[in-house]
Structure 1
């Protein structure tokens, strides 16, 4: 019976691989693990998956002689370190060791591929949320007229949060806001879950008028967590109006799309809330002015009516009539004589003039 010893078998595999791949090749894979050792080498586990199931896995290494250069090149282009979950395209030498098996020695990396893969995942997330009817769900919520109790999700030491709180609380109008921070990781693979957990904490606490997600900007890949499906779904399903301000000038992330409203920067968001207060303040001031004018007009109307009544009373005063040359006759009982039928010859009457009275006796009555 013919057989091969293990070394011979391993050597044959090695020679076969060398013949099949005499030069380095470009390989596409996902980073499953990455670690930089004390010796300066960077070790990676690369995988290919489908529907959550791993189809292939291989060890890879970037020697310390190449790692600083490739790391800097990748970070400059993407704004991010090599991280778990990234799809990468690397140029690698196929290496086979009789003791350690197959591995890849990475010589070069294409950062544009990683950025492009992130955009593809973003579009897939948008499509899924649209199919589930989640893209406009936040728009069904009603924002308080004066949203003063605000829950903020951010990193405690983030410059964006500091800028927001300072700009909001030091506003020149003296408007008061209550701001509570719910800390979360704002970048990296753990960020989506951390932010989603904070969303749940805010809802559980209750009583907030608005929920704000703040970050002070970053590179495209730094902000890639805001394209995560799980985070976007948590925002869409939140029962509180969610505002996003993650500091990007050009890109529009999925978290922004599903939020109640998005603003580019935390400072701009602070201005947004101050403007809400100003609009309500102006509305109340305008209403007060209108009420004042209406009240003044009503008072003037009443005063005019009183003046007219006073004029009519004065005009009806017998003394005013007498001053115009008329006289008033009264009988001995003080009753006004309106007709000659009420008196007879010999009755004593009093004739009232504007400047005195005349006492007289009736001597003759002539009817007209």
Structure 2
């Protein structure tokens, strides 16, 4: 028995009729541009795709004829600030065509630029809501950053103008402050950017010498080019990173999820370099002010101590002078007494001294005997005499010191 069959052409013709009946007119289609090839002045060929958690679930080829592409492309870029590129989610108006020879194709008649910008805002909003719901939004804000960070890990594209601007402003600052920077290269735009930046962050975290701060730099770009910075996985990775992250992705009209969860963010890499330099300048100014106050305080203390010391020295000098004056007066009195007690001076006044044969002054007659030899010292000589007799006086003479008139004084007392 012969098997029934149809020809390939008949199959393709049936498919063509069915598709044209199902989609007789243009329709709006949401898809991601997974591949794009455009020639200047020519046609633009695209591969459209749709993905879910399991991966790509649908693909189709599309074309924008040159007659439409030369209007669609510049208008899209003027509204979104970004040219059509791979990885972009778009809303396109297509005519579904089916050719028996070439199969299914989509002819693009228009692209809605507002959808692409709105889609990015939706992604950002959903990312931020999820981060807040999971308690990740403010984790970076709780970290402590050094007052003057020295070791800085830089995540950027090595050939990016923003990276060069950052390095020049940081290392050639007018104050001569010194920073240590290491570059961790990464893709900074496109669908592969989030995973590339996360990989760079992981390399920073595992570095042998720890860093004090991380700078993520992207030197400007169209708004849609920065959609990767609203990616949830990247934002969550930054939020939970153990080192303060500073972002400068170069968009001056809006902030992205990565900016909002980071420890801090500025608009441009140059502004971030200036901010880091200003931290050093502020600390330097604070230290100079503290040093100045310390010098003033020390100078004031030194002046007061010098004044106190001078007063002490003046007091000591005066007291010493008084002490010397008192001692000089006392010495003068002693000298006068000694002078008055000098035997030579006593002899000059007409008194005499009696000495024994050994030259010892005879102070009394107690031990004298008749026949003893004594010497009588006078102011101009000596008399050698022999004691004929010994008699005692009815009073006792105190001869230890001169009297008021320079002579000897005595008192009457009963004799032994």
- Could you say which TM-score interval applies, normalised by the shorter chain? 0.7 to 0.9
* Aligned 8 A contact 1:92 1:107 in 2: yes
**Aligned twin of 1:282:** 285
Q: TM-score, normalized by length of structure 1?
A: 0.81
Q: 2:172 matched to 1:166? A: no
Distance 1:39 1:309 in 2: 99
Q: 2:303 matched to 1:307? A: no
TM-fit CA distance, 1:273: 1.0
Distance 1:37 1:311 in 2: 100
Larger Rg: 2
**Aligned twin of 1:86:** 88
In the alignment, which of 60, 63, 78 is matched to residue 61 of structure 1?
63
Distance 2:303 2:264 in 1: 48
Matches within 5 A, 1:74-223: 74-205=76-207, 206-223=209-226
In the alignment, which of 281, 294, 299 is matched to residue 297 of structure 2?
294
Distance 1:7 1:95 in 2: 16
* Aligned 8 A contact 1:71 1:81 in 2: yes
Q: Is 96-105 or 49-58 further displaced after alignment?
A: 49-58
In the alignment, which of 22, 25, 29 is matched to residue 24 of structure 2?
22
Instruction: Mark the runs of 5 or more structure 1 residues left unpaired by the alignment.
Output: 336-344, 350-358
**Aligned twin of 1:246:** 249
In the alignment, which of 50, 70, 73 is matched to residue 71 of structure 1?
73
Distance 1:21 1:169 in 2: 62
| Secondary structure in structure 2 of the residue aligned to 1:311 | helix
**Aligned twin of 2:266:** 263
Distance 1:219 1:360 in 2: 123
Distance 2:321 2:11 in 1: 140
**Relative to structure 1, is the Cα distance of residues 53 and 160 closer, same or farther in structure 2, using a 3 angstrom cutoff?**
closer
* Aligned 8 A contact 1:152 1:182 in 2: yes
Q: Is 303-312 or 275-284 further displaced after alignment?
A: 303-312
Distance 1:216 1:39 in 2: 30
Distance 2:336 2:187 in 1: 102
Q: TM-score, normalized by length of structure 2?
A: 0.73
* Aligned 8 A contact 2:45 2:62 in 1: yes
Aligned residue pairs, count: 344
TM-fit CA distance, 1:330: 7.7
Q: Is 304-313 or 38-47 further displaced after alignment?
A: 38-47
Greater length-normalized contact order (CA 8 Å, ≥ 6 residues apart): 1
* Aligned 8 A contact 2:87 2:190 in 1: no
Distance 1:278 1:100 in 2: 68
Instruction: Mark the runs of 5 or more structure 2 residues left unpaired by the alignment.
Output: 338-397, 411-416
* Aligned 8 A contact 1:331 1:348 in 2: no
Distance 1:305 1:275 in 2: 44
| Secondary structure in structure 1 of the residue aligned to 2:206 | helix
| Secondary structure in structure 2 of the residue aligned to 1:222 | helix
TM-fit CA distance, 1:210: 1.4
**Relative to structure 1, is the Cα distance of residues 116 and 315 closer, same or farther in structure 2, using a 3 angstrom cutoff?**
same
Distance 2:195 2:92 in 1: 29
Distance 2:37 2:152 in 1: 40
Distance 1:268 1:179 in 2: 16
**Relative to structure 1, is the Cα distance of residues 33 and 157 closer, same or farther in structure 2, using a 3 angstrom cutoff?**
closer
* Aligned 8 A contact 1:151 1:179 in 2: yes
| Secondary structure in structure 1 of the residue aligned to 2:224 | coil
**Aligned twin of 2:229:** 226
Q: Is 98-107 or 238-247 further displaced after alignment?
A: 98-107
TM-fit CA distance, 1:217: 0.9
**Relative to structure 1, is the Cα distance of residues 290 and 360 closer, same or farther in structure 2, using a 3 angstrom cutoff?**
farther
Flag as ranges the 4+ runs of structure 1 deviating above 6 A.
359-364
